[in-house]
Amino acid sequence: MIIIGLLLAFVGNKFVYATIFVICAVAVASIGLFFTFTVIDKLNYNLKTYVEWIIVAVFVLLGLAVGALLVKLRKIGISIMAAWGGVMIGLLITTMLVIQNVY
């Protein structure tokens, strides 16, 4: 991971489209699958195995489509990745400094 990060840091402009595609496709598929299977689990549905694989396939295809769309809309793709990076940095800082909300 560090080697890939260094490669992207120094020659990242050549890999912007690939980075946008991969990160957005994986994020959309992961988040969609997480929420879908969480709802299915909370509702106590017993799905057959082939239905679960169909759900996975649909979200993978949806992720690929969103990744391809955001490659075409480069500015929006970069802004979404920057916003997500800001969220991750904020979570990292609050976790490192053990900041808690007291109500």
- Residue among 17, 64, 56 nearest 34 (CA): 56
Please give the C-alpha separations between residue 26 and each of 22, 52, 65, 79, in angstroms, as whole numbers.
Answer: 6, 18, 11, 17
3 band by pLDDT with thresholds 50, 70 and 90: confident
- Residue among 85, 75, 98, 102 nearest 16 (CA): 75
Stated pTM of the model = 0.74
| Alpha helices (runs of H) in 1-103, residue ranges in sequence order | 2-11, 16-42, 49-72, 74-96
Give the pLDDT of residue 69: 93
- Taking the CA atoms of residue 56, residue 62, residue 65 and residue 70 in that order, the dihedral angle to the nearest 10 degrees is -120
Check pLDDT > 80 for residue 99. Answer: no
Digit-coded pLDDT (tens) for 14-62: 888 888 898 889 989 999 999 999 999 999 888 898 999 999 999 999 9
103 band by pLDDT with thresholds 50, 70 and 90: low
